[in-house]
Amino acid sequence: MPMHFHLPRVQSFTNVMDQVRDVMKHYKHEKESEAHRIFRQSAGHKAKGVLPQTINPDEETVPGIEHPGSTGVIYCSDRAIANGFNYANSHDWANLGQGAPEVGPIPDAPPRPTSIPLPVDSLEYAPTTGVKALREAVAKLYNDTYRKGKASQYTYENVCIVPGGRAGLSRVAAVIGDVYTSYQIPDYTAYDQVLTAFKRLVPVPTALESSNKYKLDIEQTRKDIRTQGLAVILASNPRNPTGQVIKGSELKELVGLSREGTTLILDEFYSWYIYSDNEKDLGKSISSAEYIQDVNEDPIVIVDGLTKNWRLPGWRVCWVLGPKNLVTALSQSGSFLDGGANHPMQLAAIPLLDPIRVKGEKIALQKHFKMKRDHVLARLHDLHLDVAVPPTSTFYIWLNLEKLPEPLNNGLTFFEELLKEQTIVIPGIFFDINPAHRRNLFNSPCHSFVRLSFGPPIEDLDKGLDAMARVLKKARKEGMHAFGHSYKKSIDDRSSPVTLQHLQL
């Protein structure tokens, strides 16, 4: 059922406010939107010109330093802080932007870790490839889950422990030569920074379509490998932010592409967050590891860790799985990039990878997060914000706002309006991986979207959905003149009244 907005008749607004409202009704370019101008004023987010810029005088305060720009979650956190959020009052806010699951107990799950042993040896540096016992535990878990009966098995030599998923991706990027790298839009925000910072990776984008449920066209990808010389494919699977997943025969076919001379880097951090209505599928997860023929020959690189599946983001214990010669290269890149993962945490992680414990974790996680997904989708339906492509995996909802009236129909403005209601979401433009940063934001295929996380506890989800309901109710009752302006630039900003001067192009 469509949402209808009836704007009240204006009786006594000043001519200035009439002009302001008229400008806001006809957004065509990012310069016309206060939310978009605030974004561009943030360090690292200025639009680039037609020719590559080597110096940005507004940002290069230290000679030779080029600001990389913030990821979506960091930018949104900074904007929330400007609106009064801090970690002391975080319970007053609903953070539907967080890229992490709730970390407390959930029904029927194994108990949460509450203490970390500190043997004297653990006070030393760990090897840059990680503690051998943990590497063995990772290899055993993958063999037990995905490679039973296969001749080729993982060993500890196929595993590199890293201090977080971004560190793993950075290590991999650092050892890749001058290549064309395929990526998809939308996808995980950090890929933008990786493809920007590591100049030897030449980015080649593919836009995924909602009409096709954001599926990767594997046959087209095969053609692109042959005609464009793609040497690397980078993707999250299950996919952040759309909540879709490649599995079964499609995943097998995708893995097969690697044997045509292309390295496949798969970010599998949401591999347990798979939702099915069939009870017998509970506890099943997905990984490209199931379809690899030879673990030392097939150029498949898997990045995963404790962050999402084990719900332990603060531990910063993750891994990269791949051929032996890749792991030796990652040891070298780790020695100058990050120095290795936390030693005591690696030791504490070993018992958590026991296959029997993992099975219990998976079942509890899938039941609990499916319940939260269904709850959020039902509440969005009640708000007339139906999700065109509901998530079948991850804990994200990719919500299209295009049917809302201007200016609420774009992710940045919707985000700013929700900050006034102490709620955080992530604007869709952060998932438009755009290393050149030259596109008018209004032309982004992700411009009308926001990503909602149902990672937090359900009471926080309801708090955020209540805030969305208030914004939409205000739009219906008061009209659109109240939106699109008066955003705080900092915590000290008292938000002076809007004038035409604020909206000059």
Kindly state the tokens that stand for 226.
């042959």
30-99+395-482 and 120-357 have identical folds: no
Max avg pLDDT among 201-205, 224-228, 306-310: 306-310
pLDDT value of residue 365:
98
Residue 51 confidence (pLDDT) above 70: no
Q: Which helix (H) or strand (E) holds 304?
A: strand 300-305
Q: Is 8 in a helix, a strand, or coil?
A: coil
pLDDT value of residue 60:
55
What's the mean per-residue pLDDT of the chain?
88
For 316: left if phi > 0, alpha if psi spans -120 to 50, otherwise beta; the answer is left
Q: Are strands 179-185 and 159-162 parallel, antiparallel or unpaired?
A: unpaired
- Asked which of 88-92, 128-132, 196-200, 499-503 is least confident by mean pLDDT, the reply is 499-503
Matching residue, tokens 């006594």: 12
β-sheet bridge partners, residue 232: 181, 263
Name, in order, each residue with C-beta under 8 angstroms of 403's C-beta and a sequence gap of 6 or more. 2, 3, 409
Residue 9 confidence (pLDDT) above 80: no
d(CA 143, CA 301): 15
User: pLDDT class for 341, splitting at 50, 70, 90?
Assistant: very high
Task: Quick: pLDDT tens for 73-85.
Answer: 788 989 999 999 9
For 30-99+395-482, CATH number out of 1.10.443, 1.10.260, 1.10.10, 3.90.1150 equals 3.90.1150
d(CA 159, CA 321): 5
Kindly list the distances between the CA atom of residue 192 and the CA atoms of 71, 188, 189, in Å, as whole numbers in the listed order: 8, 8, 6
Sequence spans of domains, the chain? 30-99+395-482, 120-357
pLDDT value of residue 68:
63
The secondary structure of 404-452 as a DSSP string is SPTTTTSHHHHHHHHHTTTEE-EEGGGGS--TT--S-GGG-TTTTEEEE
Query: Which residue would you say has higher pLDDT here, 61 or 397?
Result: 397
User: Is the whole-model pTM more than 0.85?
Assistant: yes
Average pLDDT score over residue span 320-346: 96
Task: Quick: pLDDT tens for 86-122.
Answer: 888 788 999 999 899 999 999 999 999 999 999 999 9
Name, in order, each residue with C-beta under 8 angstroms of 141's C-beta and a sequence gap of 6 or more. 353, 355, 358
Average pLDDT score over residue span 221-230: 93
CATH of domain 120-357: 3.40.640.10
pLDDT value of residue 72:
73
Residue 64 confidence (pLDDT) above 80: no
pLDDT value of residue 498:
35
Q: Return the closest-CA partner of residue 412 out of 38, 27, 20.
A: 38
What is the spatial order of strands in the sheet that 318-321 belongs to? 159-162, 318-321, 300-305, 263-267, 230-236, 179-185, 201-207
d(CA 158, CA 393): 27
- Asked which of 226-230, 291-295, 345-349 is least confident by mean pLDDT, the reply is 226-230
Average pLDDT score over residue span 1-18: 44
d(CA 225, CA 113): 45
Structural contact between residues 182 and 202, judged by C-beta atoms closer than 8 angstroms: no
pLDDT value of residue 380:
98
Q: What are phi and psi of 281, to 5 degrees?
A: -90, -5
Give the CB-side neighbour count of residue 223, counting CA atoms within 13 A. 6
